[in-house]
Every structure is written in C-alpha cells, then in structure tokens.
Homo-oligomer: A and B are copies of this chain.
Amino acid sequence: MSMKSTILGLSLALAFGVVNAADPVFSDAELKAAASLRDAALTGNLSYKILESLTTEVGPRMAGSPADARAVAWGVAKFKELGFDKVWTEPVTFPAWKRGVETAEILAPFPQPLSVTALGHSVGTPAGGISAEVVRFATLKDMMEAPAAALKGKIAFIDHKMAKSSEYGYVQQGRSRGASEAAKKGALALVIRSVGTDSHRLPHTGVMRYEENVAQIPAAAISNPDADLLTRMLARGKPVSLKLTLGAAEAGSYTSQNVIGEITGSDKPDEYVVIGGHLDSWDLGTGAIDDGAGVAITMGAAEFIKRQGLKPKRTIRVVLFANEENGLLGGAAYAKAHEAEVAKIQAAAEADSGQGPAIKFASFVAPEALPLVKQMYSVLAPLGLAAGENDANPGPDMGALKALGVASFGIGLDNSDYFNLHHTPDDTFDKIEPKRINQTAATYAAFAWMAANAPISFGSGSAALKKGAK
C-alpha cells in the first residue's frame, strides 16, 4: 500500500476485500455489459483502423508545423465520421519550432558521417556548422561534476546509455537539461547518445529546455550505434573533432487546437469521463506509437461502446490534445479551460505509452468509491491486468486535471519495446500489432463504460482528492 492510499483513508476492510452492505455497487446488468463490451472489442480492430487512417493520411504532425492543422482537420472529420454526438475544438497557443538541416561528421582522426537529429527547441548552429573537439561524459551528473570551464570551446558528449524503459525518466535529463549544463562550463554545443533502447541508426529526438540567463547552445542526439562509434574513437586516447550543423530555429507563435468528441450521456450529460491521447507527434516518424496509438485507442474505445448499442449514463469525452511533446501544452490549456467543471469530471485517463497491451489498472478516487474500483478491476482482470494502488498517474496531459483534484485512472501499458521506437523515424504503423492494440482498446472501452455508469461520483474536487493530488 502506498503512502497516498493511506492518506486517502483506504480502510483495512477494503484493502482486504470485505464488502459492506452499504458499499456502492454496479448492477449485474452493467457489469455484464462491460464484460461483453470488453470481449467484443478484443477483436474489434476499430482502433487499429483509426490509427491506420491517422498515420497514412496525416503522418508526421509536429506541433506548429504545416501538418498540425491537417491533424486537427483529421481529428474533427474522424470524430464526425465515427458518429460522435458533439465535436469541437479549443485553442492552444505556443511557440513553434522548426527542424531544418541537420548533419554531423567526425573530422578527425577518422572522418565519418554520424546519424544525428536536433533536440526539440534547440537553437541552430551558424550556417557553416560548429567544429570542435568532443569531450565525453558517461552521464549528465558526471558532466555537472566536471571543473568550471572544462568544456570551454569544446562539444560536450553525454553518452548515457538507456538499458530499459524504466530508466527513461532518469536518462532523459541529459536531453532536457544537458545543453544549459554544458553551456555553463563553456561548451559550444551538446551531443547526446539517443535516449532509447534500440540499436538502430535512427536518432531519438525529444524536447529540451534552456535555463534562463545561460548561453543557448545547439543540442542534438546521435543514434546508439553512432554513440558506440564515437566512444570507440575516443577510447583510442587522441582528440576527436566533430562538425555539427543544425538549421533548427524557433518559428513564432502558433495556435493549434485540442480536438474533442463526445458521446453524450443519457442520465447525466453534463458529467463526463475524459479519455484521450495527444494528437501531435514528433516529425521524424508518423507517430504511430507516440501517440497515434493513444488517439486511436480512446477514439475507438468510445465509439465501440456506441456500436455495441450501449448508452452511457454520463458523457464520454475523448480529447485529442495539442502539443504534448513540447511541454504538455494541450493538457494545460484543457485543464485551464475546464477548471470550473472539475466536480463534473467523473474520471480522467490518457493513453500515451504505446499500443499496449494494458497490464495494470490503478485508480485515484475518493475512499467511498474504492468498492466500485474493485468491481471495475474484476471486469478488467481477465485481460491480464494487475491491480495498482490508489495513486494513479492519468498520463502526461491529464496530470493538470489530477492536480486540480480530478479522479483519475492509470491504465498501465506494456512499454518494454516502446523506447526502441519513441521519437524516431521508426515510429510507424507497421509496428502496430492488432492483438495488442485491440486488448488496450478493450480495456479502455470497458473502463470508460463503467466509469460513466458508476452509481456515485469518484470524488473529483473533493477535499480528499485535492489533498491527495499534492
């Protein structure tokens, strides 16, 4: 049991599975409908088809790029085509960024080109590139511990190898913070080993941030095989010089849209379950696993409820968030726009870690709703999900809602191969397996149906959840 579930007052009786006569329960008919929805969705292929459409007809859709508007138009049209009851958009404004040319080559002692990509929001180099000696560090921490001015006139190389998915949060700090830390020690540019678990010649991009009042230096990632190569060259003990050329630049303010589709509730249309994914992707691939999958899983799950002839009591709202990749901006805009309705949001759950399968079901609800969570879990467990604690992470774009005290769910997905593809050109539709995405869509469909039909509120806006979210 986690600290948070204790804070939320989860009683021992509930923890040990004793059901009290006064506990809220789903009707047998609702549970049966959820189970039959779950089973039917397992072979539905609806999310698979939606994802095929998005990756084929839109493809790469970096926030603020010309494809951003095409993605928004696709989202609106697809919701309408699927027969959602209500479809609209809400604006999200942010600074856009463009990639431009990107090349890297070893100049000496062993001239070779490297596979490189700029990190999101990096500045560019001068047109003629930056040529300098490379200084390697095993980790960001090692670089930060180097003497002041140790990188003066040099290109910093953070060679932190990500061995497995669970290391992402730690290793990606070199990507997000490395440039400013390198600049503090006088570096001219930063090159990092790709934050990814594959061994292909496809570098992983991702967003970076500059600290205020620190020189802004260009930052790029080389592929894992290229990092291996550079490390082997450096191991020979002689100076290695690299030329890096990036045409990256900020591209002015851009207004995109959160795209929203609703299946209107029959009993409580103004209360809603919000599920979704983010519509933007990086520009290198076609955003199949990140996050076309989340878009397709949640659109497909909601639509599948309707196709089964089921009418949810509360509204099911699917939100396709704008610009997650450059700082969860669609999620922040959504939370701000809907702050006044917090108590009306029955539940929030984003899908943003690939195609699945779903492997875990965690909640973040008021104590009185926990018996319902147990019943929901009993419907999902046959899909192979483990039970989580009452401390769910509802996904990056829903984090802002949880912070407001919105009841949240975390449907954990198997991400063991996710970081092979994440943020690379290789994030394409051919990697999607119908069996995997169907299972995830089935999980979301059954979950959303039950959340919409729960006999009581899950506690959004309550003191318990506001406190627990802190």
User: Is the CB–CB distance between A59 and B285 below 8 Å?
Assistant: no
Known: A56-B110, A110-B57. A429 touches B201 (CB 8 A): no
**A221-239: contact bitstring with B at CB < 8 Å (1 yes, 0 no)?**
0001100110011001000
Does chain B have a CB within 8 A of A162? Answer: no
CA–CA, A201 to B429, complex, Å?
Answer: 11
User: Is the CB–CB distance between A425 and B110 below 8 Å?
Assistant: no
Find chain B residues with CB under 8 A from A256 CB: none
Number of copies of chain A assembled together: 2
187-241 of chain A: CB within 8 A of chain B: 199-202, 224-225, 228-229, 232-233, 236
Does chain B have a CB within 8 A of A172? Answer: no
Known: A200-B202, A426-B200, A428-B201. A229 touches B286 (CB 8 A): yes
Known: A228-B429, A228-B430, A286-B229. A112 touches B201 (CB 8 A): no
Q: Which of B56, B113, B225 contacts A426 (CB 8 A)?
A: B225
**A78-113: contact bitstring with B at CB < 8 Å (1 yes, 0 no)?**
000000000000000000000000000000011111
Does chain B have a CB within 8 A of A58? Answer: yes
Does chain B have a CB within 8 A of A462? Answer: no
User: Is the CB–CB distance between A429 and B229 below 8 Å?
Assistant: yes
Known: A229-B286, A232-B52. A201 touches B110 (CB 8 A): no
Find chain B residues with CB under 8 A from A224 CB: 430
Does chain B have a CB within 8 A of A415? Answer: no
Q: Which of A56, A115, A424 has the most CB of B within 10 A?
A: A56
User: Is the CB–CB distance between B199 and A201 below 8 Å?
Assistant: no
User: Is the CB–CB distance between A112 and B200 below 8 Å?
Assistant: no
Find chain B residues with CB under 8 A from A199 CB: 430-431
Q: Which of B225, B233, B426, B430 contacts A428 (CB 8 A)?
A: B225
User: Is the CB–CB distance between A428 and B286 below 8 Å?
Assistant: no
Does chain B have a CB within 8 A of A60? Answer: yes
Find chain B residues with CB under 8 A from A232 CB: 52, 56, 429
258-302 of chain A: CB within 8 A of chain B: 285-286
Known: A202-B200, A430-B224. A59 touches B112 (CB 8 A): yes
CA–CA, A430 to B228, complex, Å?
Answer: 7
Q: Which of B56, B202, B225, B430 contacts A430 (CB 8 A)?
A: B225
User: Is the CB–CB distance between A286 and B59 below 8 Å?
Assistant: no
Find chain B residues with CB under 8 A from A228 CB: 428-430
Q: Which of A201, A286, A429 has the most CB of B within 10 A?
A: A201
CA–CA, A435 to B95, complex, Å?
Answer: 51
CA–CA, A12 to B233, complex, Å?
Answer: 57
Q: Which of A60, A286, A428 has the most CB of B within 10 A?
A: A428
Closest chain B residue to A226, Cβ basis: B428
User: Is the CB–CB distance between B113 and A60 below 8 Å?
Assistant: yes
Interface contacts beyond A201-B428, A225-B426: sample of 4 additional A-B pairs, CB < 8 Å, sorted by A: A60-B113, A67-B111, A201-B202, A229-B286
Closest 8 CB pairs of A and B: A59-B112, A201-B425, A225-B428, A56-B232, A201-B426, A225-B430, A228-B430, A57-B110
